[in-house]
Homo-oligomer: A and B are copies of this chain.
């Protein structure tokens, strides 16, 4: 093998293991994701998890990496579709709302990772990098829309991005812990608040 990274990333089975672990953690939590279960779901032997990753910790770091990619990609997809101020608010909050409602495991996984990050600096770094990447992607999209005259923003793009993403996640948390509440008016009010920072431009 060339080195650990190559070995880990190249192999088909290693990928299957990471995916199985990711899925297991989102359903069963970290504690419930034993090598036994994960190996069975990945269709490999227990020993192989150890062979590739050495320890549960390192496997979890890979999971965090992988998950960050997935999340970033998901957000980028939403962003690309936003063409004016309304779209931005709508798409972002709506997609988070839909995620919380229809893919709670996706939310669970992130919670699990944040919790882990409290005791594992490597995972904290991974999440921090993801946060930064999300901000950058969002800010870049904002800048593009500003340049096209489709929106105007009330602060630096990175700042606006930070605020909007943060707001979104906070509301998502809220949706999660109040599953049966009617969030329609809340979403509406939140959009109005964000409207103080992002308005339609001349060409919107």
Which of B104, B117, B193 lies in contact with A197, CB distance below 8 A? B193
Interface size on A, residues (CB 8 A): 51
A9 interface hit (Cβ, 8 Å) = no
- In chain B, what residue has the closest Cβ to A155? B189
The answer to whether B159 and A189 have CB atoms under 8 Å apart is yes
Which of B28, B112, B169, B197 lies in contact with A189, CB distance below 8 A? B197
A185 interface hit (Cβ, 8 Å) = yes
The segment from A13-21, A47-55, A172-180 found at the interface with B is: A172-180
Which of B114, B117, B154, B170 lies in contact with A167, CB distance below 8 A? B170
The answer to whether B177 and A162 have CB atoms under 8 Å apart is no
The answer to whether A132 and B189 have CB atoms under 8 Å apart is no
**Closest Cβ–Cβ distance, residue A147 to chain B (whole Å):** 20
The answer to whether A193 and B29 have CB atoms under 8 Å apart is no
A72 interface hit (Cβ, 8 Å) = no
A8 interface hit (Cβ, 8 Å) = no
User: 1/0 per position for A138-162, CB-CB distance to B under 8 A?
Assistant: 0000000000000000111001101
Which of B29, B128, B194 lies in contact with A178, CB distance below 8 A? B128
How far, in whole Å, are A48 and B85 apart by their CA atoms in the complex? 59
Known pairs A32-B119, A131-B177; list 10 more (Cβ under 8 Å). Answer: A111-B115, A115-B115, A117-B177, A128-B177, A128-B178, A167-B171, A169-B170, A170-B173, A192-B197, A193-B196
Which 7 interchain pairs have the tightest Cβ spacing?
A170-B170, A196-B196, A166-B170, A166-B174, A169-B170, A155-B189, A193-B193
22 residue pairs of the A-B complex, CB under 8 angstroms, read: A29-B119, A114-B176, A124-B177, A127-B177, A128-B179, A131-B178, A159-B185, A159-B186, A159-B189, A162-B174, A163-B189, A163-B190, A166-B171, A166-B173, A166-B174, A167-B170, A168-B170, A170-B170, A170-B172, A193-B193, A193-B194, A195-B196
